[in-house]
Structure formats: C-alpha cells, structure tokens
Amino acid sequence: MKHLLNILDLTTEELDDLIKTALDIEANPEKYQDKCAHKTLATLFFEPSTRTRLSFESAMLSLGGTVLGFSSASASSTAKGESCADTIEVVSGYVDIIAMRHPKEGAAQVGIDHSRCPVINAGDGGHYHPTQTLADICTIYKEKGRLNNLTIGVCGDLKYGRTVHSLLACMSRYSGIKFVLISPKELALPEFEKQEFIKNKNIPYEEIQSLEEAIPQLDILYMTRIQKERFLDANEYERLKDSYILTAEKMELAKKDMIVLHPLPRVNEISVKVDKDPRACYFEETRCGKYMRMALIMKLLKEKNEPINIEIKDTFVGDKKCANPHCITGTEQELENLVYKDKEGFIRCAYCDSIVK
C-alpha cells in the first residue's frame, strides 16, 4: 500500500504533479469540493500541533470528506499505556486514511507497519516532516517559478530540525542547487544527512555561523526555531535559543527577490517587523500547505492499491537495541530490533535511521 513516510517516497515527477494540482485547487476550489465525499481522515496527533493538524482537517473537509481523531496523547488511550502500534491497528479499521504526528523518531514507520489504510507522516520527532516540505516547495515554485538553480540557506536548528532534513533531501534532487548551512556548531546538520544528501551528490555547500555573512548570496532563506522540546539538557537550550534573529535591518543585506520561509511556529527568530516585507512568505507557505495536503490525500486514496515505486530497506533483526533516546524503540518495548545496512556500510535502526553500534 502507498504511504508517505519520507519526502523521498515521492519522485520529482510526482512532486511536480502535486504542485500543479495544488495550484489548480487554489484557482478552482469548487472542482474539488466533493472529491473525497464519504471518505474519512483520522488525525492522530500524539504531539501538539496547530498548522499541520488544522490544515489536514481543513484539507479533508474542503474535499467533502469527514475527520476524526485527537490532538494530544493525553486525549487518547496512550495515556493509559496503549502502544502506538495498537492505536494505529485499531483506528485504521475505522477510516480511509491517517495523518499522524508523534514526538518519537520512527513512530511513523511503526504506524505504517500496523495500518490497514494509507498513513501520512505529519512529523516524527526530529526525523521527517514530508508534508511541510510539500508546503515549502509549492511556495518556492509560486514565488520563484522554478525548483532548480537556487541557493538555499537553512538557518537555526539543523540538528533536530525535521523540516530542514526533509527540505534538504527533497531539493538535493534538483539541478543547480547550492546549500548554505547556518547554525551554531552544537546544532549543525548531522554528518550522515550531510553525507547522503549533499556530499554524495557533489552539491556545493557552505557551513557558516553568521547569518549576516550568509544572507547576501541567498535566493531562499529557511529560518527555523530552536526547538526546546527536542533538547534533553535545558541549560543547552537556554544557551542556544537566541542564536539567530532575522530583523528588518538584516533583510537589507538580502537580494531584492530573496524569499523567507519558516515552518512555524516562530518564537523570536523572525522579528514581526519582517512580516510587512513582501519577501516574507511564511504565511503564504501555510496556505500552500493546505492545498498540497489536499492534493496528497487525493493521490494516496486514488493510488493506495497500486504498486509502490520506492526503494524498500532490506531489514534484519540486530542484536542490539537502538541507543537514540528519541527513538520509538525506547518506549515501544516489544518492537523488534530491526536494522539495515546503508550505502556506506553502516548499520542503522530501521525506525529512526540512527547508527546502531
């Protein structure tokens, strides 16, 4: 069955088709108002969300479907100790499609393994967030007219930022891309992400700690917040939380046609004074997110029984449990120690992709 775990589950041709559909939905909403009549979406959000959850619900309702679900783990039987696997097994028998968010990395894979219907990963810890990337690329296409020949700066939390990881993976498949990685050393992009999506593809990149130094060369500036909920050490968060703040003064250093994106919510990393700048596209990004989710829901429901076209990990049972403290295997105690060997020869957890030593 077709699901969406990772943005790489979609080919660039499929992404182009989703963007085309999303823009048509925006222009002609009445054409799509009954496309999912008599279909039900479950929004299973084990972690709080505003934009992602509500945009999924709005998307399904705008397609003529219905929605059920919960908005936090405390509002589900998880509070009683029910596993994620059991929750998905049960709920997937009630609905036609599921959008799930979970604070643990690899939870979406568990959901897919136990579901009777298509599952959309709406964010699993610091791992993946493919539908945010759909919103990102739709906005880029609308504003720039292309997805190639761009210099893209990603700024802030590159270590735990699932939106950054998904965006880099997606954009690494287009030609003429350059990445500028802007972060403190403590929040730098994980080495295996850099290796897989940048170095192995010979994509030019820079690692810079100064936003002011980076901004003049950028076509896209992707700001992110420092995510308190991803830190195990509160003192480290306090030390790093104000590392980057985009102001109107810093925007004067940028190109006249550079655009600013942000997955939201923001805390203080973008001054509200920047909102009036025509290059600030983060609220438009939220609207694009709804249209892209509408297009995705229709696609998965239509194609759910067609052959999948993605590379399946060749997994096997390892002799050691994943040591990543954010991995779903830490809380779902009965999960098998599934691992796989990556292209570099490293053994990785099949759920969160961390190296298993």
pLDDT digits (tens, 9 = 90+) for 270-283: 999 999 999 999 99
Is the same domain home to 107 and 150?
no
Q: Which helix (H) or strand (E) holds 67?
A: strand 66-70
Predicted local confidence at residue 334, as pLDDT: 85
Which one from 80, 185, 276, 357 is the annotated catalytic residue?
Answer: 80
Same domain, 98 and 208: no
Mean pLDDT, residues 252-280 taken together: 94
Asked if residue 319 is part of any domain, the answer here is yes
**pLDDT over 80 at 309, yes or no:** no
Same domain for 266 and 201: yes
Q: Could you tell me if residue 273 is inside a domain? A: yes
Instruction: Work out the average pLDDT over 246-252.
Output: 94
Predicted local distance difference test score (pLDDT) of residue 1:
73
- For the cut 70, the answer to whether the pLDDT of residue 233 exceeds it is no
Q: In this prediction, what percent of the chain has a pLDDT beyond 90?
A: 70
Mean pLDDT of 255-275: 93
Tokens representing 339 are 């691992």
21 is catalytic: no
Write out pLDDT tens, residues 190-213.
888 898 899 999 999 999 988 999
Please identify which of the residues 3, 21, 43, 52 carries the catalytic annotation. Answer: 52
Average pLDDT of the chain to the nearest whole number: 90
- The reply to whether 139 belongs to the active site is no
Residue of 89, 37, 87, 51 lying closest to 292 (CA atoms): 51
68 in a structural domain: yes
**At a CB cut-off of 8 Å and minimum separation 6, what does 129 contact?**
121, 122, 123, 162, 163, 165, 166, 263
How confident is the model at residue 244, as a pLDDT?
81
Q: Which of 107-116, 179-188, 318-327 has the highest mean pLDDT?
A: 107-116
Bridge partners, 67 (sequence order): 41
80 is catalytic: yes
Q: Which listed residue (35, 39, 51, 250) is catalytic?
A: 51
Q: Which domain holds residue 329?
A: 315-349
pLDDT mean over 14-25: 98
Residue 211 inside a domain? The answer is yes
Residue 188 and residue 244 in one domain: yes
Is the pLDDT at 21 greater than 90? The verdict is yes
Answer yes or no: is 163 within a domain. Answer: yes
Mean pLDDT of 97-126: 94
Give a yes or no: residue 355 inside a domain. Answer: no
For residue 122, what is the enclosing H or E element?
A: strand 119-124
What is the identity of the amino acid at 185? K
Q: Which of 21, 279, 260 is nearest to 134 (CA)?
A: 21
Look at residue 193 in the predicted model and tell me its pLDDT.
86
Q: Is residue 356 part of a domain?
A: no
**Residue from 104, 129, 142, 348 carrying the catalytic annotation:** 129
Q: 159: closest CA among 135, 181, 175, 131?
A: 181
How does DSSP classify residue 172?
T
> Which of 2, 3, 53, 101 is an active site residue?
101
Q: Is the pLDDT of residue 24 over 90?
A: yes
Check whether 76 has a pLDDT greater than 70: no
Report the domain count for the chain. 3
